[in-house]
Amino acid sequence: MKRFFLTVAILFVALISTTSLSARELHVVPEPAYVDLEAEGEYVVTEKTRIIVVDDLWAPAARFTEDMMSYYGSDKPMRTSKHGNKGIKVRLDRFVPAEGYEMTVSEEGVLIIGGTEAGVYYGLQTLRQIIVTNDGKVPYGYIADEPTFEYRGAHLDVSRHFFSVEDVKRYIDILAAHKLNRLHWHLTDDQGWRIEIKAYPELTEKGSMRSETLIGHGLNPEFWDGKPYGGYYTQDEIRDVVAYAAARYITVIPEIEMPGHSQAALHALPWLGCNEQEVDVWTMWGVTPEVLCAGKETTYEFLENVLSEVIELFPSELIHIGGDECPKDRWKECEHCQAMMQSMGLEHEEELQGYLVARIEKYLISKGRRMIGWDEILDGGVTETATVMSWRGISGGIYAAERGNDVVMTPMSLCYFNFYQTESRKGEGLHIGGHIPFEKVYAWNPYEGMSDEAREHIIGVQCNMWSEYIKDMDTIEVMLLPRLGAMAEVQWAEDRRDESTIRQKMETMRKFYDACGWNYAPYYFEGRQ
């Protein structure tokens, strides 16, 4: 999985013998693989600095100039051209890993060499951090860098509370600055269906709006706000977000929940349920017993039709099908489900969910895609081609990896950024519970308890942002930052983290957040977690 790409023996020897002092002085998040700042001097970047584009790298150069326009407060982007002697030069080299880059800074300027456009973009993100936090002064030297994990993800739940296209783009900007490359977009749930499906317009006409919303953690009638709430994305808006993310080298993975967490769909299309009774879009949080009927062929036809449109909208190879927290009470009472189980020789309802998941996986494979789901998909048995998100702890991920499945580690106790950031919870407002401070994220070892064989199947790490108690983008940012800095170090630089330097690095990163205009929680910086 990891490919260290210092291409000559001298540099390799230098890596072994050089202390990490230079890297610490650089204060870049996430930590680069190798830094040599022994040369004296610095190159100063201004809004007049030219970007010299080689190998048709106009796209990453354009993203960089946009960022610099914001930083310099100028409506004129930095000039780009194919030729020039001094400035920021970008080019490709097939000997550099795909997401890796090399950066050389001298009196001639900054040279960034990437294995792909993405590698060049990540090099430019490192340069951007240095420019913003060091008044445009980039120290002479050399950086060679590449990520630990190929999948570096963050999740965003827009079902419990809806976020506008501009909000989602702002979220993407924050992820991109931390070198993440996956956005897991949770688009459907009991409390709202957020994606337009042309075959079933009722899903958004009816399923995107709930009558009211739970207030606080109570379950009594007086704890509802009495206000209709909803929203959804048109297919054109979905395409816009996907393209925006792709321009920042982020793949958007859609999640369409099944067979549980589907009450909004059941409200819109009651025939999807076992007893076909009418239910409301859910107005509280947690797990409802209302689930899709797994015993009727019309359910599978519905799911395939929905996924057909989803596939057209999202280029992602992975399509998330949920699969979590599905009560089986309705199935136990359903003549269709029981008849399906008898005809298939299934002994219990967990196997029926396994049958549904297997059918959906087969359909996705037939369309050239692959299935990813929460670790409950293991309960009914899945093929080795499925990717598993381990959220109920680490044991599901270890089990899946040992049996040959690719795994994304995202255990709730470490990766749910909707949890509180301080033990006292003072000044944090109302959230769902739990306590995940910055230091806990930073110290996490995603490989803990794994054999060498299992480690090979851990393709990545993800943090999750569930929105039951998060209603606006300002709060999203405060819950995300600065903990995303810790997560980025785990994802990109798992093997080179240093607890003795991270606080100083994050103080520098705080300047970056301020310059970008992003909200962040103060607790870590104040030393109270």
* Residues marked as catalytic: 189, 261, 325
Instruction: Specify burial of residue 248 (Cβ count, 10 A radius: 0-12, 13-18, 19+).
Output: buried
User: What is the pairing mode between strands 87-92 and 406-409?
Assistant: unpaired
Structure tokens at 421: 């950031």
C-alpha 448/C-alpha 60 separation (Å) is 36
312: three-class secondary structure by DSSP: helix
C-alpha 258/C-alpha 303 separation (Å) is 8
C-alpha 70/C-alpha 236 separation (Å) is 27
Q: Is the dihedral of CA 513, 506, 141, 7 positive or negative?
A: negative
Rg of the chain (C-alpha set): 24
Q: What is the DSSP letter of 209?
A: E
**How many C-beta atoms surround the C-beta of residue 243 within 10 A?**
11
Give the phi and the psi of residue 425 in degrees, each rounded to 5.
70, 5
C-alpha 516/C-alpha 11 separation (Å) is 35
Question: Which among 488, 489, 518 is positioned nearest to 153, based on CA atoms?
Answer: 488
Tell the residue number behind the tokens 């959804």, with chain if given.
232
**How many C-beta atoms surround the C-beta of residue 123 within 10 A?**
27
**How many C-beta atoms surround the C-beta of residue 433 within 10 A?**
12
C-alpha 17/C-alpha 35 separation (Å) is 12
C-alpha 185/C-alpha 477 separation (Å) is 16
Q: Is the dihedral of CA 185, 189, 191, 196 positive or negative?
A: positive
Instruction: Specify burial of residue 94 (Cβ count, 10 A radius: 0-12, 13-18, 19+).
Output: exposed
Q: What share of the chain is helix, strand, coil (3-state, %, to 5)?
A: 40, 20, 45
Give the phi and the psi of residue 66 in degrees, each rounded to 5.
-60, -45
Structure tokens at 112: 């960034």
List the beta bridge partners of residue 352.
none
481: three-class secondary structure by DSSP: coil
C-alpha 245/C-alpha 313 separation (Å) is 13
Q: Is the dihedral of CA 380, 386, 391, 393 positive or negative?
A: positive
